[in-house]
Amino acid sequence: MSDTPFTFSIPNPGFIPSRVDNHITRRLSALRGQFLDQDAYARLLDREDTLLYAVNEIKRPAAAGELLMGVSIVHPGKVGKEFFMTKGHFHTVLDTAEVYYCLRGEGFMVMETPEGHPAVERLSPGRVLYVPPRWAHRSVCTSRQEDLVTFFTYPGNAGHDYGTIEQQGFCKLVLDTEKGIAIVDNPRWRK
Ligand code: 6PG
Ligand code: NI
């Protein structure tokens, strides 16, 4: 891997970085157990294992002084009343932060600490989000037509702990209700 400075671009529209080392896609089947309406989930999955999001990563060595970067694209859609979202994770090295910069779309970052303190922040083009160390994070796309596109960067040694969220979910959900978008308590949290 090169140890000299480098540049790349993120063209608009498209948002595929001009340099990509790793392309990750996650479909409905990867979020089994995460959506509240399990019947709606089963019906949708029966029809098609829909693509929920894609991530294009610019890799760096897994060292504390390094920064990984990438662009995440969450597609619009819903499972029951719940918007399409990422799996979400804590960083394995809990004391590592992350910065997100929203390039396109509308949505939220749903976050929480290991102690269960919640935070939900809105994402829209031009907005920067700082996720401090220790906060699990999940992006949610609330636009009906547009992808939610974010650039992110975080320490090379951070790693991903998906297991905790797979087991307990996030304490807050983002739902589409008759009165508009609502952030509600997850009735199945830690159950
Ligand atoms: C990270 C970032 C980010 C994230 C994607 C997809 O630490 O890697 O938070 O790149 O991976 O937004 O979300 P999931 O990793 O939760 O599937
Ligand atoms: Ni992260």
**Mind listing the pLDDT tens digit for each residue in 66-91?**
999 999 999 999 999 999 999 999 99
Q: Which residue has the tokens 């999001």?
A: 53
99-127 burial, b at 16+ Cβ within 10 Å, e below that, comes to ebbbbbbbbbbbbbeeeeebebeebeeee
Q: Omega of the bond prior to 13 within 30 degrees of 0, cis?
A: yes
Task: Provide the pLDDT for residue 191.
Answer: 67
CA 135: distance to chain centroid?
13
Element housing 165 (H / E): helix 163-168
Q: How confident is the model at residue 190 (pLDDT cuts 50, 70, 90)?
A: confident
C-beta separation of 82 from 37 below 8 A: yes
Average pLDDT (152-176) is: 98
Q: How far apart are CA 145 and CA 76, in angstroms?
A: 6
Ligand 1 centre from 108 Cα, in Å? 14
Ligand 1 centre from 111 Cα, in Å? 13
The number of the ligand 1 atom at minimal distance from the alpha carbon of 138 is 16
Ligand 1 atom 8: residue of nearest CA: 160
User: Residue 31 pLDDT > 80, yes or no?
Assistant: yes
Average pLDDT (140-167) is: 98
Q: What is the pLDDT of residues 90-123, one digit of tens each?
A: 999 999 999 999 999 999 999 999 999 999 999 9
List residues near ligand 1 (CB under 6 A).
26, 55, 70, 72, 86-89, 98, 137, 139, 152, 154, 160
User: Residue 86: nearest ligand to its CA?
Assistant: 1
- What is the best residue among 27, 29, 55 to mutate for testing ligand 1's pocket, by most ligand atoms within 8 Å of CB? 55
Ligand 1 centre from 154 Cα, in Å? 10
Task: Provide the pLDDT for residue 178.
Answer: 96
- What is the best residue among 26, 34, 160 to mutate for testing ligand 1's pocket, by most ligand atoms within 8 Å of CB? 160
Average pLDDT taken over every residue of the chain: 97
Q: What is the pTM of this model?
A: 0.97
What is the token pair recorded at 161?
A: 């702990």
Ligand 1 centre from 88 Cα, in Å? 7
Q: Label residue 66 exposed, middle or buried (CB < 10 Å: 0-12, 13-18, 19+).
A: middle
Q: How confident is the model at residue 16 (pLDDT cuts 50, 70, 90)?
A: very high
Radius of gyration of the chain (CA): 16
The number of the ligand 1 atom at minimal distance from the alpha carbon of 158 is 7
User: Residue 166 pLDDT > 70, yes or no?
Assistant: yes
Q: What is the pLDDT of residues 175-186, one digit of tens each?
A: 999 999 999 999
Q: How far apart are CA 173 and CA 73, in angstroms?
A: 19
